[in-house]
Amino acid sequence: MTVRASLVTEPIDTREVLREVESPGHGAAILFVGFVRDVNDGKPVHGIDYTAYEAMAEREMTAIATESAERYSGSFVVIVHRIGELSVGDASVAIATSHAHRDMAYSASRYAIEQVKARVPIWKREHYSDGTREWVDPTGKADRVGSA
């Protein structure tokens, strides 16, 4: 049984993340990778720096991996998120899941990435061509947070 999560500062070896969930009884494995895009909201992006409340982020990611494995019938789940300065095309997050059958592996993967986006205390600041940097607020409320 492989269920784990970590924050890293070095580039993510996505093939290695996938290899971690391989198992003779598992006929299906899914690798989800999130990459830094070169554009967001129509603005060209040169890079992103990610910061985290590291101890809590690892704790939440581990909780998500465990929940995903429990909900989806003993799937193996590995979540790796990178923080620090990333360039366009770098992998920011990799999630590997596996199960005897594909349905559970896909569901475990989808659950994990949606939960990571919703609740792990990680923040990103985009770098633009004019040298400015801006914190990204996916809630679209600038500096205001609703009762999420």
* Contact residues for other proteins, defined by CB under 8 A: 34, 50-53, 55-57, 59, 81, 92-93, 113, 116-125, 135-139, 141, 143-148
> Considering the complex, what minimum distance in angstroms separates the CB of residue 92 from other proteins?
7
The SS3 of residue 103 is helix
Complex with other proteins: residue 39 or 55, whichever CB lies closer: 55
> Considering the complex, what minimum distance in angstroms separates the CB of residue 6 from other proteins?
13
> Considering the complex, what minimum distance in angstroms separates the CB of residue 102 from other proteins?
23
Complex with other proteins: residue 1 or 148, whichever CB lies closer: 148
List the beta bridge partners of residue 43.
40
> Considering the complex, what minimum distance in angstroms separates the CB of residue 121 from other proteins?
5
Complex with other proteins: residue 1 or 142, whichever CB lies closer: 142
Tell which residue, 56, 55, 132, 48, has the closest CA to residue 92. Answer: 48
42 near 129, Cβ under 8 Å?
A: no
Residue partners of 75: CB distance under 8 A and separation at least 6: 68, 69, 97, 98, 99, 104, 105, 107, 108
* Both tokens assigned to 119: 């609740």
Complex with other proteins: residue 23 or 51, whichever CB lies closer: 51
